[in-house]
A and B are shown apart, each in its own frame.
Chain A
Amino acid sequence: MRGIKRGKGSIMDSKSRNATLIVGLTIAGMICAQAETRKEMHFKVGRHATVSITNQFGPISVRPAVGREVVVTAILSSDKVEVDQNQRGSRVDIFSHLLPNADATSGQVSYDVAVPADASIVLHSTDGQLRAEKMRGDVDFEEATGDVDLRDFSGAHVHIKTLDGPVTLTNIQDGYIEITSMGGDVVMNAVSGPMVQVNSVSGKILYDGDFGAGGEYVLTSHTGDIEAQAPAYASIDVFARSVTGPVVNDFTLEPEHTPFAIKAGSAFAGTVNKAASKVKLLSFSGKIHLKKR
């Protein structure tokens, strides 16, 4: 009968199979150690919670959640980084902890975060992309070189600091916005609110919107160009000045008294329609252009 008698050959085959199995398991273990790790964390929070994430390498994406729970999904690229978590009441802190010999590749963690829409978000990153959408709470982003992308916000206080990463804001309504950029370009599409303030050193500032009604918009740069594009129905009280750079205006302005003389070619001031919003475009040597859409 087959399969009953086992001779020396069978024993050798068994040993060979065992050896192969052991080697295979060892290799699989090594591969697993290097492979990505997915970690999911859940936090119950109350109203106006604060979620803070510090992640040196890797993107962070924030979206609104249903209910009063914060769900953080972290994908760790290797075992050279770990995710520390801490919750005190409605304050949640997540920190990507780099272990020895971690670098920008092995130390990368990708975060996908779902938070209640009224929660405040604090994100610190070095070169990962920061994205957030459809939020109503305060947003405080600090980014060295990666890009920042916010869209579809309403009634939020937005504070962004960046070294030279580009910043893009799209459809931000009723916002209190403060952006400080060293060299990154700042692009704003359909952004309006009671206060919009952008301070750039060498990055460009590009605004495309109608300046809302009743807000104050101050766009300042040292050497970066400032381009603001608005529709003909925009209602603004505008003052623009470049100390050494050129200024160009496509609108017909009603003249307005200013405390100092307007030097043609370097400055212009006046009102359009009912002058509902105040707009200041200031640069030291960049070009300023107020375009009519």
Chain B
Amino acid sequence: MTCEQFQELLPEIGGGNRNIEYETHLRSCQECWGLVSDLNAISRQAPLLQASEEPGPELWNSIESALREEGLIRSSRQQPVLVLKSKPRWNLAWMLPAAASVLIVLGVLNYQGKIHSVSTETAPAITAQSVNTRSPLVASFSAEDQKFLTAIAFRSPTLRAKYERGLRDVNAYIRDAQQSALNDPNDEEAQRYLMSAYDQKAMLYQMALDRFQ
């Protein structure tokens, strides 16, 4: 069993379906042993998510962007699996195994990046291009927003500047609306501002995803 085959089987093996070939490779390969140890550590930390704040829809959108960038989600005209069109009522207990699975997949993706030469050759070029064309305020983008912009730069470089400007404007909108709502929690219009601001950001992500299907 090669390292590549081992890592392809990881999502199945994580459910407890181990075999002799898996065990033999795990004992003989230090790199794969390190990967499994790290993933086990992530799984142990997942229950601690219960104490954290409920992630916003931006997190799922950015996760989907990252998975599309890696090619795990193929182009399809069907409704994306991870994109939220409306605000769902999330049950935290249900989210935990889903969040843990997503973290494991992301961990596998990070290690697969060392083996797949195409990804390795492409990613630095995109990152360098992004850095060269980035405005100073990009540093204020969240990690999810930066993944979103990286995905757009990869799929549609000509639109990247427009989406970056839109994202910067809408984040400013959200910040101002949040401050306004905090200043007066009873102000219905301030609440409306905040809803409008989030609707704008959701629209931005949705338009980008529609384009890349």
Q: Which residues of A contact B (CB under 8 A)?
A: 56, 104, 124, 126, 142, 144-145, 161, 163-164, 180, 182-183, 199, 201-202, 220, 222-223, 241, 243, 259-260, 280, 282, 284-285
Question: Contact string, B178-189, partner A, CB cutoff 8 A, digits 1/0?
Answer: 001000101111
Q: Does B112 interact with chain A (Cβ within 8 Å)?
A: no
The residues of B that contact A182 with a CB separation of less than 8 Å are 166, 169-170, 200, 203-204
Pull 17 A–B residue pairs with CB atoms less than 8 Å apart, ordered by A.
Answer: A104-B158, A126-B211, A144-B159, A163-B163, A163-B166, A163-B207, A164-B166, A180-B199, A182-B166, A199-B196, A199-B199, A202-B169, A220-B193, A222-B169, A222-B172, A260-B187, A284-B176
CA distance A11 to B162 in the complex (A): 65
Selected from A144, A201, A243, the residue in CB contact (under 8 A) with B207 is: A144
Residue of A nearest to B183 (CB): A243
Closest 7 CB pairs of A and B: A222-B173, A182-B166, A201-B169, A199-B196, A220-B196, A180-B203, A284-B176
Say whether chain A's binding surface is mostly helix, strand, loop, or mixed: loop
Residue of B nearest to A143 (CB): B207
Q: Evaluate whether A243 and B200 lie within 8 angstroms (CB atoms) in the complex, with A126-B159, A163-B207, A222-B172 already known.
A: no
The residues of B that contact A180 with a CB separation of less than 8 Å are 199-200, 203
Interface residues of B in 123-179 (CB under 8 A from A): 158-159, 162-163, 165-166, 169-170, 172-173, 176-177
CA distance A284 to B170 in the complex (A): 12
| In contact, A284 and B200 (Cβ under 8 angstroms) | no
Residue of A nearest to B169 (CB): A201
Beyond known contacts A183-B169, A201-B200: 11 more, CB 8 A cutoff: A142-B207, A142-B210, A163-B166, A182-B203, A183-B165, A201-B166, A201-B169, A260-B187, A280-B189, A284-B177, A284-B193
CA distance A260 to B191 in the complex (A): 14
The residues of B that contact A144 with a CB separation of less than 8 Å are 159, 162, 207, 211
Q: Does B197 interact with chain A (Cβ within 8 Å)?
A: yes
| In contact, A183 and B166 (Cβ under 8 angstroms) | yes
Residue of A nearest to B202 (CB): A180
CA distance A259 to B166 in the complex (A): 34
The residues of A that contact B206 with a CB separation of less than 8 Å are 161
CA distance A280 to B210 in the complex (A): 31
Among A104, A142, A144, A259, the one with the most B-chain Cβ atoms within 10 Å of its Cβ is A144
Residue of B nearest to A201 (CB): B169
Among A56, A163, A201, A220, the one with the most B-chain Cβ atoms within 10 Å of its Cβ is A201
